[in-house]
Chains A and B, each alone.
Chain A
Amino acid sequence: MTDDATDDAPRHQEEQKAFAEEADSLLAITIAPLIWCAHFLVCYCGVAIYCAKWQQAFSLGVLRAGLIGATVLALAGIALIGWFAFRRWDVRTSGDWVHERGISEDRHRFLGHAAFLLALISFIAVCYVTLPLIFIGSCA
Chain B
Amino acid sequence: MTDRHHSDPEVPRPEGPYPPTEAMLSEPVPEALQAEQRRQLAAAWDAPKGWRYWTAVNNSEVGVWYALTAFFFMLCAGVMALMIRVQLAVPENDLISADLFNQLFTMHGSGMMFLFAVPMFEAISILMLPGLLGARDMPFPRLSAYGFWCFVIGGVFVLGAILFNAAPKAGWFMYPPLATEEEGVGSDIWLLGLSFIEVASIAAAVELIVGTLKCRPPGMRVNTMPLYAWYVMVVGGMILFAFPPLIAGDFLFELQRSFDWPFFDPARGGDPMLWQHLFWIFGHPEVYIVFLPSIAIAAMVVPTVAQRPIFGYSWIVLSAVGTGFISFGLWVHHMFTTGLPALSLGFFSAASEAVVIPTGIQLFCFVATLIAGRVKMTPPMLWIAGALAVFTTGGLTGVMVAVAPFDFQAHDGYFIVAHLHYVLFGGMVFPVIGGIYYFFPFIAKKQLSARLSRWSFWLIFSGTNICYFPMHLTGLTGMPRRIYTYPDGLGWGWLNMISTLGAFAIAAGFLVFAYDLLRPKGGQGQVARNPWNAGTLEWTHDIPEAKWGVRSIPFVRSRYPLWDEPKLVERMDAGRYYLPDSPEQKRETLITSVIDARPIQVQEVTGPTWVTLWAAGFTGGAFIFPTFHWYGPAMVSAAFAVVTILYWLWTSTARPPRHEMREAGLGLRLPTYASGPAAVGWWAVWITMLGDATGFASVVFGFFFYWTASDFPPAGSPLAAGWPAAGAALAYLASWGLTLGARMLNRGERSGAAMACLALAPLLAVLGAGALILSVLHLEPASHVYPAILWAIMVWCVTHTIPGVIMQLYCLAGILFGKLRPRHDADLWNSTLFWHFLLLTALVSAAVIGLAPRLL
A residues contacting B by CB (< 8 A) are 6, 8-16, 18-20, 22-23, 25-26, 29-30, 33-34, 36-37, 40, 43-44, 47-49, 51-53, 60, 97-102, 104, 106-107, 110-111, 113-114, 117-118, 121-122, 124-125, 128-133, 135-136, 138-140
Task: Report whether A25 and B595 are in contact in the complex, using a CB–CB cutoff of 8 Å.
Answer: yes
Shortest CB-to-CB span from B204 to chain A, Å, is 21
* A10, A23, A43 — most chain B CB neighbours (10 Å): A10
Of all chain B residues, the one with the shortest Cβ separation from A125 is B354
Q: Is the interface of A mostly helix, strand, loop or mixed?
A: helix
Interface residues in B313-354 (C-beta closer than 8 Å to A): 313-315, 317-318, 321-322, 325-326, 328-329, 340-351, 353-354
Q: Which residues of A contact B14 (CB under 8 A)?
A: 10, 14
Q: Which residues of B contact A113 (CB under 8 A)?
A: 314
**30 residue pairs bridging A and B, Cβ less than 8 Å apart:** A6-B19, A10-B13, A12-B13, A18-B678, A20-B677, A25-B595, A26-B594, A40-B347, A44-B347, A47-B347, A48-B344, A99-B223, A99-B313, A101-B558, A102-B224, A107-B222, A107-B596, A111-B222, A114-B317, A117-B314, A117-B318, A117-B322, A118-B321, A121-B318, A121-B326, A121-B354, A125-B354, A128-B351, A138-B342, A140-B342
Task: Report whether B18 and A36 are in contact in the complex, using a CB–CB cutoff of 8 Å.
Answer: no
Task: Report whether B221 and A15 are in contact in the complex, using a CB–CB cutoff of 8 Å.
Answer: no
Task: Report whether B676 and A16 are in contact in the complex, using a CB–CB cutoff of 8 Å.
Answer: yes
Interface residues in B292-326 (C-beta closer than 8 Å to A): 309, 313-315, 317-318, 321-322, 325-326
Tell yes or no: B203 within 8 A of A by CB. no
Tell yes or no: B806 within 8 A of A by CB. no
Given that A114-B317, A114-B318 are contacting pairs, would A37 and B325 also be in contact in the complex, using a CB cutoff of 8 Å? Answer: yes
Given that A18-B677, A99-B223, A106-B223 are contacting pairs, would A47 and B344 also be in contact in the complex, using a CB cutoff of 8 Å? Answer: yes
Once the chains are docked, how many angstroms separate the CA of A102 from the CA of B600? 18
Task: Report whether A102 and B598 are in contact in the complex, using a CB–CB cutoff of 8 Å.
Answer: no
Given that A37-B325, A47-B343, A121-B318 are contacting pairs, would A111 and B223 also be in contact in the complex, using a CB cutoff of 8 Å? Answer: yes
Q: Which residues of A contact B13 (CB under 8 A)?
A: 10, 12-15
Once the chains are docked, how many angstroms separate the CA of A48 from the CA of B11? 52
Select B595's contact among A26, A43, A125, beta carbons within 8 Å: A26
Q: Which residues of B contact A18 (CB under 8 A)?
A: 593-594, 600, 677-678
Task: Report whether B11 and A136 are in contact in the complex, using a CB–CB cutoff of 8 Å.
Answer: no
Shortest CB-to-CB span from B273 to chain A, Å, is 11
Q: Which residues of B contact A29 (CB under 8 A)?
A: 321
Once the chains are docked, how many angstroms separate the CA of A128 from the CA of B355? 10
Shortest CB-to-CB span from A101 to chain B, Å, is 7
Q: Which residues of A contact B346 (CB under 8 A)?
A: 131-133, 135-136
Task: Report whether A19 and B347 are in contact in the complex, using a CB–CB cutoff of 8 Å.
Answer: no
Of all chain A residues, the one with the shortest Cβ separation from B311 is A98
Tell yes or no: B557 within 8 A of A by CB. yes
Q: Which residues of A contact B345 (CB under 8 A)?
A: 132
Of all chain B residues, the one with the shortest Cβ separation from A10 is B14
Q: Which residues of A contact B340 (CB under 8 A)?
A: 48
Shortest CB-to-CB span from B260 to chain A, Å, is 26
Given that A18-B600, A22-B594, A51-B341 are contacting pairs, would A132 and B223 also be in contact in the complex, using a CB cutoff of 8 Å? Answer: no
B interface bracket (residues with beta carbon within 8 Å of A): 35 or more
Q: Which residues of A contact B325 (CB under 8 A)?
A: 30, 33-34, 36-37, 122
Once the chains are docked, how many angstroms separate the CA of A53 from the CA of B437? 56
Task: Report whether A8 and B596 are in contact in the complex, using a CB–CB cutoff of 8 Å.
Answer: yes
Select A53's contact among B222, B556, B683, B708, beta carbons within 8 Å: B708
Interface residues in B707-736 (C-beta closer than 8 Å to A): 708-709
Tell yes or no: B450 within 8 A of A by CB. no
Tell yes or no: B357 within 8 A of A by CB. yes
Once the chains are docked, how many angstroms separate the CA of A104 from the CA of B313? 17
Interface residues in B516-573 (C-beta closer than 8 Å to A): 556-559
Shortest CB-to-CB span from B313 to chain A, Å, is 7
- 9 nearest interchain CB pairs? A132-B346, A15-B678, A19-B677, A110-B223, A22-B594, A102-B557, A117-B318, A33-B325, A10-B14
Select B329's contact among A34, A40, A107, A117, beta carbons within 8 Å: A40
Tell yes or no: B443 within 8 A of A by CB. no
Q: Which residues of B contact A131 (CB under 8 A)?
A: 346, 350
Q: Which residues of A contact B674 (CB under 8 A)?
A: 15
Select A110's contact among B219, B222, B600, beta carbons within 8 Å: B222
Tell yes or no: B290 within 8 A of A by CB. no
* B309, B342, B347, B677 — most chain A CB neighbours (10 Å): B347
Of all chain B residues, the one with the shortest Cβ separation from A40 is B329
Shortest CB-to-CB span from A136 to chain B, Å, is 5
